[in-house]
Amino acid sequence: VPGPLGPWWWCRAIFMGRVEAEMPPPPPGCGLFWLGLVLGSICTALQFATQANSATDALNVLLIIVDDLRPSLGCYGDKLVRSPNIDQLASHSLLFQNAFAQQAVCAPSRVSFLTGRRPDTTRLYDFNSYWRVHSGNFSTIPQYFKENGYVTMSVGKVFHPGISSNHSDDSPYSWSLPPYHPSSEKYENTKTCRGPDGELRANLLCPVDVVDVPEGTLPDKQSTEQAIQLLEKMKMSSSPFFLAVGYHKPHIPFRYPKEFQKLYPLENITLAPDPQVPDRLPPVAYNPWMDIRQREDVQALNISVPYGPVPVDFQRKIRQSYFASVSYLDTQVGHLLSALDDLQLANNTIIVFTSDHGWALGEHGEWAKYSNFDVTTRVPLMFYVPGKTASFLEEGEKLFTYRDPFDSVSELMEPGSQSMDLVELVSLFPTLAGLVGLQVPPRCPIPSFQVMLCREGRSLLKYFQFHDMEKDPYLHGNPRELIAYSQYPRPADAPQWNSDKPSLKDIKIMGYSIRTIDYRYTVWVGFNPDKFLANFSDIHAGELYFVDSDPLQDHNMYNDSQGGKISRSLIP
């Protein structure tokens, strides 16, 4: 456990609810003083909970985190993807059109936005360290809510499981109850995909008959059922709750109920608009999508490493299965929101919907995350705030009636309110705290490794002042002053077997990327993994794309700009 283990630390640990069986024993010589502390802390905690429970106007939070979901949704203008339930949520929400993750890989992104710190502060660029030990004992969003009287609950993939969340989803710090993981999750990467020959294989493309898979269910179905049960229990409680629900799809493998394939006939599936590797793309910027190459159906294609390409007919099948997975995900979100509505919780529950990062579906010849391009760093982000983004419901009224994606007459629902400003996922922490009326954590000093509670993202609260913004457009600020930062590590200048997910010890280069309203600028510089230091005098490559003339980021203008004369002071 991080931190000094003196008596006063123990006092604080008890009060914050952090004493667990695996912790070391109390300091010697405490005796009755120790017993008094324990009993006193219990009384204090009960009194604190009672005070919190009496606050009937406290807003609950439902945070929905999706794995590998790019903004391929109807509410983001995608004409092909059927996502009626997410679109319905968007119609009652404030939707951010330009939201960006800080690193396009699961564990670093999730630790970043759940702590409100950037990867260079969490020092997590891979999957192999726990930030509280490796970097600093940073508070998380659910921990902050828990410490302020909320019952905090985790369902599915919220933190990335494993070392990066201490094999415990950051328990007991973040959660009031043991985190829930669906039992069928263990079959995700096993031979459960029936191939054309009738044999079971571990494929990338894995539409299934749910009754035939182990346990007769899928992880996201189980997560929805568990989340609904928790909502039913919390409906009977007077305590406010913070419920985080993490959905697996559309993360690979694309294992989803096979009927969703019917929504996307292959003849309707187009290729990516830019399926070729750009001529002027630096090799260090390319990722060779090694994880999909490990799937049996992709191995059978004998695709050359590192650049491919994937055969055209299989490209269409990948895109088909990604979109089908999104529609399957949409039904789970629909069932969850409909249950929340049925429980009459829509008037006092904030709903946030987002993703940890995007995923390339053939753009730039890539089939993965693991880059700094918009297609992998841009994510959906929307906030439903009762009384702000939508009116309070009258008796018997419903906002989130379940919508069937197979209903061909279902009309497209437009987002309620939208912002085109650039925002970052590290803004989640201060924004959620402010929306429920908690004190917004202060800005982090530099450095902040010894500071438990602070945030590196700006608060987005001003975007919810709709009437004030209509009267005073200057509240929006100057969009050209807004910057979204991301970064990605590489082990070498050229693509190799571990370019996608290098371990910390193997990182030799860091790609720091700036996204503004006008351009994306990336510089690949030398990086020392022992000292966590980037050397901006050691430039390996650069990228510069102008948004208006090159929205897909295919034409690198870095060399034309003599090394990209953009101020290095913009790099945090």
Name the active-site residue from 75, 92, 106, 193: 106
Taking the C-alpha atoms of residue 474 and residue 468, their distance in angstroms, rounded to an integer, is 10
Lookup: tokens for 63: 């945070």
Q: Name the band, by pLDDT with cuts 50, 70 and 90, for residue 18.
A: very low
Confirm whether 160 is a catalytic residue: yes
Q: What is the pLDDT of residue 239?
A: 96
Taking the C-alpha atoms of residue 103 and residue 512, their distance in angstroms, rounded to an integer, is 10
Q: Name the band, by pLDDT with cuts 50, 70 and 90, for residue 480.
A: confident
Q: Name the band, by pLDDT with cuts 50, 70 and 90, for residue 558.
A: very high
Average pLDDT, rounded, for the chain:
89
Q: Name the band, by pLDDT with cuts 50, 70 and 90, for residue 196.
A: confident
Q: Which of 336, 341, 401, 344 is nearest to 155 (CA)?
A: 336
Angle made by CA atoms 467, 472, 478, in degrees to the nearest 5: 120
Name the active-site residue from 92, 160, 248, 357: 160
At 147, the amino acid letter reads E
Checking if the pLDDT of 1 tops 80, the result is no
Taking the C-alpha atoms of residue 503 and residue 489, their distance in angstroms, rounded to an integer, is 9
Q: Name the band, by pLDDT with cuts 50, 70 and 90, for residue 14.
A: very low
Can you give the pTM of this predicted structure?
0.89
Q: What is the pLDDT of residue 477?
A: 66
Q: What is the pLDDT of residue 481?
A: 86
Give me the mean pLDDT over the 87-110 stretch.
98
Helix (H) or strand (E) holding 49: helix 32-53
Lookup: tokens for 168: 């415990």
| Residues 35-58 pLDDT 10s | 333 333 333 333 434 434 434 479
Q: Name the band, by pLDDT with cuts 50, 70 and 90, for residue 412.
A: confident
Q: Which of 90, 72, 71 is nearest to 81 (CA)?
A: 72
Return the minimum-mean-pLDDT range out of 214-218, 339-343, 416-420, 439-443: 416-420
Taking the C-alpha atoms of residue 207 and residue 410, their distance in angstroms, rounded to an integer, is 24
Domains in the chain, start-ordered, CATH in brackets? 62-469+477-563 (3.40.720.10)
Could you tell me if 381 and 423 are in contact, meaning their C-beta atoms sit under 8 angstroms apart?
yes
Q: Cβ-count burial of 504 within 10 angstroms (0-12 exposed, 13-18 middle, 19+ buried)?
A: middle
**Sign of the four-CA dihedral 207, 208, 209, 211:** negative
**In sequence order, what are the residues at sequence separation of 6 or more whose Cβ sits closer than 8 angstroms to the Cβ of residue 110?**
65, 158, 159, 160, 356
* DSSP-H helix ranges across 372-426: 374-377
